[in-house]
Amino acid sequence: MRRLMSSTKWPQTRTGTGILSPQPEENPHWWNANMVFIPYCSSDVWSGVTPKTDHSDYAFMGSLIIKEVVNELLSKGLDKAKVVLLAGSSAGGTGVLLNVDQVAEQLASQGHRGVQVRGLADSGWFLDNKQYKFTDCLDTISCAPTEAIKRGIRYWGGLVPESCRQAHVGEEWNCFFGYKVFPTLKSPVFVVQWLFDEAQLTVDNIHLTGQPVHEGQWRYIQNLGQELRNTLRDVPAMFVPACLSHELITRTYWMDIQVKGTSLPRALHCWDRSLQDSLHSSCPLQLIDSCPWPHCNPSCPTIRDQLTGQEMSVIQFLKHMGFDVQKMAQQQGMDAKKLLGMLNNGN
């Protein structure tokens, strides 16, 4: 995608939103932190170390960009920081998993061992699962996750964390999938992930446009949520709402979403304190919805019809998804009216 390949079209200024906002009402804990935003222009999931050559007109330098930015920031006072939080969304979320230990190592090797390095990975925890419908790998959208990364890593000359590389010698593509790279990391990482991620559904060939969803697709979507839940079992700090969406930390509404009565900024603040002081370890850190279908969490962001842009209520959305209230009520062992009432109240 051209817009993800160069910095030439970047605006001169940007407004920080969500976790990048300087307003205390939008960003209660980190509004006055030093923030550096690095836009994505390397198209390599922040993994490349490949300059332009005689054979290729493209340079993929995502990993080197992060390294250079850290070096430059060290000359501007980063060495005096107590905590460095490397955060990213989507490809940037996967980029956090791929680079957080490298940044920690970079600071330590230059003598800055007092700086604690942590990661915040938003919407970058993808699954190398089976697609709903198999398609040949003709472009990035129809290409199955595993095949896309296998091709990409060859093309970008992608770099993965050393401990993960050793665990998957010759099959380094595994390290682009959160549940495989996470156990090999030394730095603490907080995982933010929608249970039903739109980017994941797209690569799995579930396209939620206009057409009602068939029962097979509905089952597939619910299974996807279950599979994702299973891969997060051993993650100590996470925020995983049962919504159909993509990216959260830089959204203006990021304070409104709740899991088990806790918002994401509060969960992150709690995690921050628990890493500095074990006395605060009683606060909730493994926040994951247990309800089984998209938007069963009442605080999910507004759903819009992808064709008309109209807002949809949860009931309209579930009907659009081919959700059979009678049948679902039977499965749950309850009266259909009662289930509809629960859905309307968002319980």
- For the annotated catalytic residues, the residue numbers are 90, 197, 246
d(CA 293, CA 344): 15
Q: 237, 232, 235: which is closest to 267 by C-alpha?
A: 237
Q: Is residue 156 packed enough to be buried (19+ CB in 10 Å), middle (13-18) or exposed (0-12)?
A: buried
Q: Is residue 280 packed enough to be buried (19+ CB in 10 Å), middle (13-18) or exposed (0-12)?
A: middle
Segments of the chain assigned E as strands: 83-89, 116-122, 189-192, 196-197, 238-240, 244-245, 258-259, 262-263, 286-288, 303-304, 311-312
The answer to whether 104 and 187 have CB atoms below 8 angstroms apart is yes
Segments of 230-296 assigned E as strands: 238-240, 244-245, 258-259, 262-263, 286-288
- At 345, the amino acid letter reads N
CA 124 → CA 179, 218, 231, 247, distances in Å?
Answer: 11, 23, 13, 9
Can you say whether the dihedral through the CA atoms of 219, 221, 223, 225 is positive or negative?
A: negative
d(CA 96, CA 245): 20
Strand partners, 69: none
